[in-house]
Amino acid sequence: MADIIQLLPDHVANQIAAGEVVQRPSSVVKELLENAIDAEATTIKLIIKDAGKTLVQVIDNGKGMSTTDARLSFERHATSKIRTADDLFQLHTKGFRGEALASIAAIAHVELKTKQEHDDVGNAIIIEGSSIVSQDIVVTPKGTSISVKNLFFNIPARRNFLKSNAVELRHIIDEFHRVALAHPNISLSFFNNGSDVFNLSMGNYRQRIVSIFGNKTNEKLVPVEETTEVLKISGFVGKPEFSKKTRGEQYFFVNDRFIKSGYLNHAISSAFDGLLKNGLHPSYFLYLTVNPQTIDINIHPTKTEIKFDDEHTLYALLRSAVKHSLGQFNIAPVLDFERDPNLDTPYDYNKSEANNPVIEVDRSFNPFKESYNPGKQTTAFKTQTLTNWDSLYVGLESKGNDFRKEFSEVHFESEESTESIFGSDTQAEYVQTTYQLHNKYIVSTIKSGMLILDQYRAHQRILYEDFLKSMTIKEGMSQQLLFPLELHFSTTDIDIIKQLKQDLEHAGFVFSNIHKDLVEIMGLPVNIPEHDVRNILEYLISDVENEVPDSNFSATDLLAKSMAKSLAIKRGQSLKKDEQEHLVNSLFACKEPNVSPNNKATFITMSVDELDKKFI
Ligand code: ADP
Ligand code: MG
């Protein structure tokens, strides 16, 4: 048989390899910014159009390239940064694999202009799909400018795979943040479709963090400093009270390189043990300096993963450094870690000043006297049962709002099925036998056997449908606030809020002002308690960031989901009998009672037959 193996032509090999390095526009941003930093630039400008799909351009004032180097830079494995394999363990640069420019040039239209300081003129190269279109002498300032246009022009499948501009822009901003946080000594600017997104001047780490995440961040940062023989740790962790529900601002740098490490992230989280309520994530900006010989960066093409020689020691050091800082800054663990929600302070109390405890000594106290009543001392912890149970059903029957009535005419398609599932004759009788299991599930008798309902998901469904109705049928019922609510967000989060402003207004939000890192809210949808607003907006922002599929993206829907998610009664909350029944009944009054807004089962049933079988 004839030989069939052939060497792939260079441009095909480059295209294949490009897939590893360049997944989306943000990968180009990362590689170009890193090259500019390696070229010792002190000012870098990033310009993008259409979330990088049409253009990514990076202009730096670094050392530039000679005529030959400019041409060579696009060859695979062409690098000025290492010469031998040993150099891999002496790295002081971001790049070293010499494949970024070759990869990018294989799948885009690239224009390079570059000039070294002492040359009179520079070089311009145009290269498209790995072939050189032109190379000329040009007049250009010291440094390098690289424009990458029409990414994936020759790989339509890849291009189609790209997400919406909002999502791709988010990825780019993430990369930009990582680079910007690692290099506060470089001034960085970022323009998107002609308007400036960031303009960061040189400064220290703290200043850089604050200029990215907003002025309010400053007071949240607790410094972490530790120097040992093997490593130096510096940076900040966020105070526990500023930890976030849905995601933390978590940045971990090793020798100025942003690194993802689940293991070391765990070290930091565990230092917060007892300080954070369940499900919250700490923020951190930590910078590790280690001897380059003790790490291997070359284990992943995008260089965001890293192998440490001695991960265990690092884990312990990191954990204790963070713990130490938290301790030093007097941040003591909250005692009500796994608290019973029934013991929660009423919301009105949250804002009032804490009274200093007064020590009262009962001088006439005689423990042997019968009338002594030890119960008296514990009144402070008296259980507050949820008497006002309609507050659980925010959005259904909250005070001063006949929300539920407004929609009583709305026809529920599933009303018939309610009947059939609970038995048509004595529905009420069946439904009344509910039981709460582990503060999570509601068990109820039904005609065919039993029903087990997930309280959190069920309530989400109920609220979700109600919010949707209120937003689509009766738009924008809002309650005026006495004092405007001011909420601080990072500038990127503010951008997302701006994008969603119209939908939020439909839902009943009234914004009096949106600043760079602050929103002022004058009015809220009637069903939303003021203290939940921040949560809802955070859920919403993170949902938008988390790659909501483009096709059926509807901001109204998303908003309803986020509001439902944050306002729904959570697992772990105990419900009284009537609350349990109300939950079951309201769920089956929904259009789609079977699934939560995120398409997860809200309940399961088990028939008597199935039960019988288990007892055979
Ligand atoms: P690597 O960064 O891994 O070396 P790249 O493909 O990213 O590989 O770049 C190839 C080479 O081109 C670099 O080693 C560097 O010498 C040169 N180069 C790339 N970008 C710049 C820039 N902005 N300024 C100066 N030189 C650059
Ligand atoms: Mg590079």
pLDDT tens for each residue of 389-415: 333 333 333 333 333 333 333 333 333
CA–CA separation, 255 and 275 (whole Å): 29
Task: Give the mean model confidence (pLDDT) for residues 284-296.
Answer: 90
pLDDT for res 424: 44
Least confident segment among 96-105, 414-423, 483-492: 414-423
CATH superfamily of 434-605: MutL, C-terminal domain, regulatory subdomain (3.30.1370.100)
Least confident segment among 201-205, 252-256, 261-265, 432-436: 432-436
What letter represents residue 2's amino acid?
A: A
**Å from CA of 300 to ligand 1 middle:** 18
Tell which one of 68, 82, 101 to mutate to probe ligand 1, the residue whose CB is within 8 A of the most ligand atoms: 101
Pair of tokens at residue 543: 């949902």
Task: Give the mean model confidence (pLDDT) for residues 481-497.
Answer: 88
pLDDT for res 368: 53
Average pLDDT, the chain: 79
Give 268's contacts (C-beta < 8 A, 6+ positions apart).
237, 250, 252, 282, 284, 286, 318, 319, 322
**Å from CA of 98 to ligand 2 middle:** 6
Residue 554, phi-psi category: left (phi > 0), alpha (psi -120 to 50), beta (remainder): beta
Instruction: Indicate if the pLDDT at residue 363 is higher than 70.
Output: no
Least confident segment among 211-225, 413-427, 476-490, 598-612: 413-427
For residues 256 and 183, is the Cβ–Cβ distance under 8 A? Answer: yes
**Å from CA of 93 to ligand 2 middle:** 9
Place 553 in a pLDDT band, splitting at 50, 70 and 90. low
Instruction: Indicate if the pLDDT at residue 595 is higher than 70.
Output: yes
Atom of ligand 1 nearest to the CA of 103: 6
Task: Give the mean model confidence (pLDDT) for residues 157-185.
Answer: 92
Ligand 1 and 27: CB distance under 6 A: no
Which residue has the least CA distance to atom 20 on ligand 1? 35
Ligand 1 and 78: CB distance under 6 A: yes
Sign of CA dihedral 609, 614, 615, 616: positive
Find the ligand nearest to 101 CA.
1
Length of the chain equals: 616
Ligand 1 and 80: CB distance under 6 A: yes
Task: Give the mean model confidence (pLDDT) for residues 357-368.
Answer: 54
CA distances from 535 to 3, 216, 220 (A): 64, 17, 18
pLDDT for res 406: 34
pTM: 0.61
Which residue has the least CA distance to atom 14 on ligand 1? 79
Ligand 1 and 422: CB distance under 6 A: no
CA–CA separation, 80 and 73 (whole Å): 9
Task: Give the mean model confidence (pLDDT) for residues 536-553.
Answer: 68
Tokens 């390239």 — which residue?
65
Instruction: Indicate if the pLDDT at residue 20 is higher than 90.
Output: no
CA–CA separation, 136 and 595 (whole Å): 63
Give the model confidence (pLDDT) of 454-480 as tens digits: 999 999 999 888 887 777 665 567 788
**Å from CA of 79 to ligand 1 middle:** 6
First to last CA, the chain: 65
Which residue has the least CA distance to atom 23 on ligand 1? 36
**Å from CA of 33 to ligand 2 middle:** 8
Ligand 1 and 129: CB distance under 6 A: no
Give the model confidence (pLDDT) of 239-282 as tens digits: 888 787 766 689 999 999 999 888 888 899 889 887 887 778 89
Boundaries of every domain in the chain: 10-200, 212-328, 434-605
Instruction: Indicate if the pLDDT at residue 152 is higher than 80.
Output: yes
CATH 3.30.230.10 fits 212-328, yes or no: yes
Atom of ligand 1 nearest to the CA of 97: 3
Atom of ligand 1 nearest to the CA of 99: 6
Which residue has the least CA distance to atom 25 on ligand 1? 64
CA–CA separation, 564 and 390 (whole Å): 16
CA–CA separation, 80 and 502 (whole Å): 51
Beta strand 518-525 pairing with 478-488 = antiparallel
**Would you call 19 helix, strand, or coil by DSSP?**
helix
- For 543, other C-beta atoms within 10 Å of its C-beta total 18
Identify which has the larger pLDDT, 572 or 340: 572
**Would you call 79 helix, strand, or coil by DSSP?**
coil
Which residue has the least CA distance to atom 13 on ligand 1? 79
CATH superfamily of 10-200: Histidine kinase-like ATPase, C-terminal domain (3.30.565.10)
CA–CA separation, 244 and 240 (whole Å): 9
Identify which has the larger pLDDT, 418 or 517: 517
